[in-house]
């Protein structure tokens, strides 16, 4: 009976030590960031929604969801140039980030506009949710930050990536589309009097109010 008690105590101690080691490895892997290998063969990778997941390494390699693989690839392939710059509030969360766009020509030239990207768990089968965080007077962006861009709606396809969305956003600054508006007042002014529309844009970029709405000073 004494021997059985000793075996039981040894088993309990071993289980406690294993649990302690597992917790330490998970903690270290989360601090190390996506793709960091752990001492016991586990691999910490970035999970959809910003959660670090610990997966066990098998002979076939690390098991990852298609969404995790795609967003990590898209981020590594970003080619924003001088017009757009990515910002990651949490470097360990690739599913929620900002793209800062500074148009180099057109009516909004000189301004700085922040767009927030939120990646869904079933990406790339669902388009990212993109919101303009900078108040702007624009036919295709409303005052709440919603964006009228076809590839964010019905024309999104899983083969598309983050770069294509950024190109689409930049194009809205160079060629706004008043025929598919979200800000109908801005679109109507653009169609009827483009010069006056341009004056309103310049006024709002300088931080003045228009039609009861206050705009941030960007110039």
What is the rounded distance in angstroms from the CA atom of residue 67 to the CA atom of residue 118?
A: 13
Within-domain flag for 219: no
What token pair was written down for 166?
A: 């950024």
Q: Where residue 173 sits, what CATH number does that domain have?
A: 3.10.110.10
What is the rounded distance in angstroms from the CA atom of residue 171 to the CA atom of residue 29?
A: 40
Residue 155 shares a structural domain with residue 175: yes
191 Cα distance to chain centroid: 33
* pLDDT tens column, 152-183: 988 999 999 999 999 999 999 999 999 999 99
Active-site choice (80, 132, 148, 170)? 148
> Global pTM?
0.71
Q: Domain ends where: 17, 36, 63?
A: 63
Domains of the chain: total: 2
- List the domain range (segments joined by +) for residue 36: 2-63
* pLDDT tens column, 17-69: 444 444 443 444 334 443 333 333 332 233 334 444 333 344 345 456 667 68
User: Which H or E run contains 54?
Assistant: strand 52-56
Average pLDDT, the chain: 78
Active site residue 80: no
């Amino acid at each position: 009976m004494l021997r059985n008690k000793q075996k039981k105590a040894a088993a309990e101690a071993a289980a406690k030590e294993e649990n302690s080691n597992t917790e330490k490895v998970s903690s270290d892997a989360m601090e190390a960031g996506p793709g960091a290998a752990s001492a016991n063969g586990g691999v910490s990778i970035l999970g959809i929604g910003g959660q670090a997941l610990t997966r066990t390494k098998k002979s076939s390699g690390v098991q990852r969801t298609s969404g995790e693989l795609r967003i990590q690839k898209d981020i590594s392939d970003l080619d924003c140039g001088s017009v757009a710059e990515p910002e990651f509030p949490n470097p360990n969360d690739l599913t929620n980030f900002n793209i800062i766009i500074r148009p180099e020509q057109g009516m909004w030239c000189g301004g700085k506009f922040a767009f927030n990207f939120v990646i869904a768990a079933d990406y790339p089968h669902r388009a990212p949710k993109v919101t303009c965080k900078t108040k702007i007077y624009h036919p295709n962006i409303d005052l709440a930050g919603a964006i009228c861009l076809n590839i964010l709606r019905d024309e999104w396809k899983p083969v598309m990536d983050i770069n294509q969305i950024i190109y689409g956003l930049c194009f809205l600054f160079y060629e706004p589309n008043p025929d598919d508006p979200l800000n109908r007042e801005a679109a109507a002014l653009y169609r009827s009097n483009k010069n006056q529309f341009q004056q309103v844009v310049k006024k709002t970029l300088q931080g003045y109010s228009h039609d009861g709405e206050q705009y941030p000073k960007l110039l």
